[in-house]
Structure 1
């Protein structure tokens, strides 16, 4: 049996993919999706069908828009309001977008909801407000901070997940989901975390600087057109190195702002490691100055295809839009492998409820 899902703030549909695609477990049918990014909704439609609305969900609810019946509502209200990268978090209107999400949960008659967001949500006042609203609607809730690499994503990405369910006699779900992979630093019988080499080690050097109308994966496997100084900087960073190595090896081409800043993150202008998962892929992964996004060996930042693989998207997933729009879709996505682990918990919960109702 297929359960009906609604995906809010869906972006490209990484979470829907983890719920619906048989390669990730399946068992769910997408009946409606919403996002206010036009390119992202076109990507969603290209992969899951036309039941997607490009709109502001808060305005949709206020204007009396129709919400279809569903078993599950999933989604990630925009995370920038919670993110530590946002220095003006207090008062950010995006913090309140969980409210129309819960309105859709109520109007759809859903029996389960899943909210995914940055790790900082777990300790925020909004976490308590969400659980209070869920309780008022008759839901029990559980939450945790999940590590995407523990579930097969070749990327270390920590996310808070809130799971809510109407019990209907069902026992509490197994949450967080049981890991499928383990850090190589821990003693475990599970397979080790998937690595950068596992995800992109088979790809040759990229060609060109724009998306191409050729077969995947090479349609998105393109590079940039860096200056000679940028290439020299790339070459100065050793395996696993970062901006501090650049400053040590080639101070004459190191930006002065980095020289003046003696402390700070060690991922800036860093190289990925072959033998580890990727760092968190963000929307500007094509800019090494934004994080550890240099290829492990080649003197360049990672490509869109490499970023998509490090997020866990299959090569046959279709992305629509400009290269900047596609980068945004990739960086904002939920790793499908993480979504799949959550989907398994939801599927077991709904199957148990279904069996009790049928008894």
Structure 2
């Protein structure tokens, strides 16, 4: 990756596979600590950014004296309790992990910290508690700026809204202004499209499996690391599934299916879940890439190629792990560790790299 002359130290908490670090590091942010509890995600992070500063373990057990000072602390505390797809349980213990984030901030004394979370985090009781901590609490020295940013507005070919909180003790820092727009706007580029990220890849993957590869991280042997076309593998859908796929045009979904191909669960639910069994469009960003993007019944994950006149010119499959990673804006050189399911979870849980990169570029203007 290209490096720049200015540099700052950085801590990445709840680092996952490293989506935020992948956006920050090329702009001069050097990670000195990363913490991730999932072995395969931590291994992926270590494969790309180094094992020496990566801690595989529970952040609750991270000793204070192992937290270095840093210029920036970034991270996305687990958000399943806040998510539209989660339990929405305000007492979910995962919702309390942002307090561990603040403990690290207290110890590391960064100039700036960035919290990334799901859109509805801002409407949760714990978000109000976070604001309270800036009013005489653990982060009383920090001014907070927060809002919901849409990844597509920052050059990512994906319509993924995320809550971003910037805390600064060097003066208030606004949220970064969009660089892209759905509509033509003065000074802004048009949204990037699915075509800009995945066009040109083989339409018909020649395997359904990952290669046989193993590596050791943290004293444990894990599958991988896997690169580029290693992740471009297909699945083996049933004949009825293929029939269903063939009826879905770009931008369409389950409502395009004839009655004889509707499962009872959809036949008895005439409204809602509009994006399931959906097909992407070449000329638009994708919808949110979730952790189960390989299941078409979970969202708009069918490959965008579909010719209305020529059935032979249709690609009737879900997107591959590689295509999902590219839509999350990971670079082609990124390496992955874990099983197919573990890697899918890493991809879906990651911060889009382009959004992280936009935030990093914005912070550079303010950091000392």
Aligned partners of 1:209, 1:259: CA distance in 2, in Å? 31
Tell me if 1:153 matches 2:164: no
Is the CA contact 1:4–1:28 (under 8 Å) kept in the aligned structure 2? yes
Equivalent runs, 1:18-167 vs 2, <5 Å: 18-21=23-26, 26-50=27-51, 51-61=53-63, 64=64, 66-135=66-135, 136=137, 137=139, 138-167=141-170
Q: Which residue of structure 1 lines up, in the alignment, with residue 200 of structure 2?
A: 202
Cα deviation per residue 1:236-295 (whole Å; 9 max; x = unaligned)?
Answer: 22232101111xx3x222211110011112100000011100000000000000000001
CA RMSD of aligned residues (A): 1.6
Aligned partners of 1:265, 1:65: CA distance in 2, in Å? 48
Q: Which residue of structure 1 lines up, in the alignment, with residue 241 of structure 2?
A: 230
Structure 1 residue ranges without an equivalent (≥5): 355-359
Tell me if 1:319 matches 2:336: yes
Aligned partners of 1:239, 1:28: CA distance in 2, in Å? 39
Structure 2 residue ranges without an equivalent (≥5): 1-5, 214-225, 306-314
**46-55 or 82-91: bigger deviation:** 82-91
TM-score (norm 1): 0.90
Is the CA contact 1:213–1:219 (under 8 Å) kept in the aligned structure 2? no
If each structure's helix is expressed as a fraction of its own residues, which one has the higher value?
1
Is the CA contact 2:12–2:75 (under 8 Å) kept in the aligned structure 1? yes
Tell me if 1:2 matches 2:7: yes
Q: Which residue of structure 2 lines up, in the alignment, with residue 178 of structure 1?
A: 177
If each structure's strand is expressed as a fraction of its own residues, which one has the higher value?
2
TM-score (norm 2): 0.88
Helix, strand or coil for the counterpart of 1:104?
A: helix
Deviation of 1:87 (Å): 3.5
Pick closer, same or farther for the CA change 1:212–1:70 going to 2, 3 Å: same
Cα deviation per residue 1:212-255 (whole Å; 9 max; x = unaligned)?
Answer: 37995311111001111111111122232101111xx3x22221
Tell me if 1:239 matches 2:242: no
Aligned partners of 1:97, 1:234: CA distance in 2, in Å? 40
Aligned partners of 1:146, 1:43: CA distance in 2, in Å? 26
Cα deviation per residue 1:177-225 (whole Å; 9 max; x = unaligned)?
Answer: 1211111x35333211000011111112222101237995311111001
Task: State the aligned residue count.
Answer: 337
Helix, strand or coil for the counterpart of 2:180?
A: coil
